[in-house]
Structure 1
Amino acid sequence: MTTVPVIAIFDIGKTNKKFFLINEYYKIVLERTTSFEETVDDDGDPCEDVALLQRWVKEQLHEILSQKKFDIRAINFSTYGASFVHIDHDGKVTAPLCNYLKSFPEDLKQEFYAKHGGEEKIAAETASPVLGNLNSGMQLFRIKQRKPELFERIKYSLHLPQFLNYLVTGNFCSDITSIGCHTQLWNFNKQDYHQWVYEEGIDRILAPIFPSDKVTETEIDGHNYQVGTGLHDSSAALIPYLANFAEPFVLISTGTWCISLNPFNNNVLTPEELAKDCLCYMEYHGRPVKASRLFAGNEHEQQTRRMAEHFNKPNDYFKKVKYNPDFVAPAAPAVAVDENQLLKQSAFGSRDLSTFKTYEDAYHCLIADIMVQQKTSTQMAIQDTKVKRIFVDGGFSKNPVYMNLLAKAFPLFEVYAASVAQATAIGAALAIHKFWNNKALPADMIELKYYAVAQNIEI
Structure 2
Amino acid sequence: MNVVAIFDIGKTNKKVFLFDENYRIVWEKSVNFDETVDEDGFPCEDIELLKNWIFECLAEVKNLTNYVLKAINFSTYGASFVYIDKEGKNLTPLYNYLKDYPEELKQEFYKKYKGEEVFAVKTASPVLGSLNSGMQIYRLKEEKPVLFNQVEHCLHLPQYLSFLLTGEAYSDITSIGCHTNLWNFKKMKYHKWLKKEEIIAKIPPLHFGKDIIKKEDGLAIGVGLHDSSSAIIPYTINFTEPFVLLSTGTWSISLNPFNNKPLTFEELKQDCLCYMQYTEKPVKAARLFAGNEHEIQAKRLAEHFNVPFDTFKDVYFDKKIVSNLRALNFQIVYPKKYDFDILKECPFQKRDLSTFKSYDIAYHQLMLDLVEQQVFSTNLVIHNSPVKKIFVDGGFSKNSIFMNLLAEAYPDVEVYAASMAQASALGAALAIHENWNPKPIQNDLIDLKFYKH
Which TM-score bucket, shorter chain as reference? over 0.9
Given that residues 334 and 347 in structure 1 are in contact (C-alpha distance below 8 angstroms), is that contact kept between their aligned partners in structure 2? no
How does 1:27-38 map onto structure 2 within 5 Å? 27-38=24-35
Tell me the secondary structure at the aligned position of residue 215 of structure 2: strand
1:84 corresponds to = 81
CA distance in 2, matches of 1:257, 1:91: 32
2:231 corresponds to = 237
| Residue deviations 1:219-260 (CA, integer Å, cap 9, x gap) | 1xxx21111111011111111111111111111111222111
Residue 321 (structure 1) aligned to one of 302, 310, 315: 315
2:72 corresponds to = 75
Provide the TM-score with structure 1 as the length reference: 0.93
Q: Which amino acid aligns with 1:210?
A: H
How does 1:59-138 map onto structure 2 within 5 Å? 59-138=56-135
How does 1:209-288 map onto structure 2 within 5 Å? 209-219=206-216, 223-288=217-282
Tell me the secondary structure at the aligned position of residue 329 of structure 1: helix
Given that residues 185 and 193 in structure 1 are in contact (C-alpha distance below 8 angstroms), is that contact kept between their aligned partners in structure 2? yes
Cα distance change, pair 102–294 in 1 and its aligned pair in 2 (3 A): same
Cα distance change, pair 211–306 in 1 and its aligned pair in 2 (3 A): same
1:152 corresponds to = 149
Tell me the secondary structure at the aligned position of residue 259 of structure 2: coil
Structure 2: gaps (5+ residues)? none
Higher mean displacement: 326-335 or 83-92: 326-335
CA distance in 2, matches of 1:11, 1:74: 14
2:197 corresponds to = 200
Given that residues 144 and 151 in structure 1 are in contact (C-alpha distance below 8 angstroms), is that contact kept between their aligned partners in structure 2? yes
Shift of 1:340: 5.2
Cα distance change, pair 215–111 in 1 and its aligned pair in 2 (3 A): same
2:369 corresponds to = 369
Residue 301 (structure 2) aligned to one of 288, 307, 311: 307
Higher mean displacement: 382-391 or 434-443: 434-443
Given that residues 337 and 346 in structure 1 are in contact (C-alpha distance below 8 angstroms), is that contact kept between their aligned partners in structure 2? no
CA distance in 2, matches of 1:284, 1:96: 28
- % of aligned pairs identical? 57
Aligned residue pairs: how many?
447
* Structure 1 consecutive aligned stretches of length 4 or more whose deviation exceeds 6 Å: none
CA distance in 1, matches of 2:167, 2:144: 26
2:178 corresponds to = 181
Shift of 1:339: 5.3
CA distance in 2, matches of 1:93, 1:314: 41
Shift of 1:215: 1.0
Shift of 1:301: 2.5
Shift of 1:312: 4.1
CA distance in 2, matches of 1:113, 1:444: 47
Higher mean displacement: 337-346 or 246-255: 337-346
RMSD: 1.8
| Residue deviations 1:255-298 (CA, integer Å, cap 9, x gap) | 22211111111011111111111111111111111111112222
Residue 48 (structure 1) aligned to one of 30, 45, 50: 45
Q: Which amino acid aligns with 1:412?
A: D
Shift of 1:412: 0.2
Tell me the secondary structure at the aligned position of residue 309 of structure 2: coil
Shift of 1:334: 5.5
1:293 corresponds to = 287
Q: Which amino acid aligns with 1:333?
A: N
CA distance in 1, matches of 2:433, 2:285: 26
Provide the TM-score with structure 2 as the length reference: 0.94
Structure 1: gaps (5+ residues)? 454-459
1:395 corresponds to = 395
Shift of 1:411: 0.2
Higher mean displacement: 344-353 or 382-391: 344-353
Shift of 1:447: 1.3
Given that residues 84 and 136 in structure 1 are in contact (C-alpha distance below 8 angstroms), is that contact kept between their aligned partners in structure 2? yes
2:452 corresponds to = 452
Q: Which amino acid aligns with 1:269?
A: L
Given that residues 337 and 347 in structure 1 are in contact (C-alpha distance below 8 angstroms), is that contact kept between their aligned partners in structure 2? no
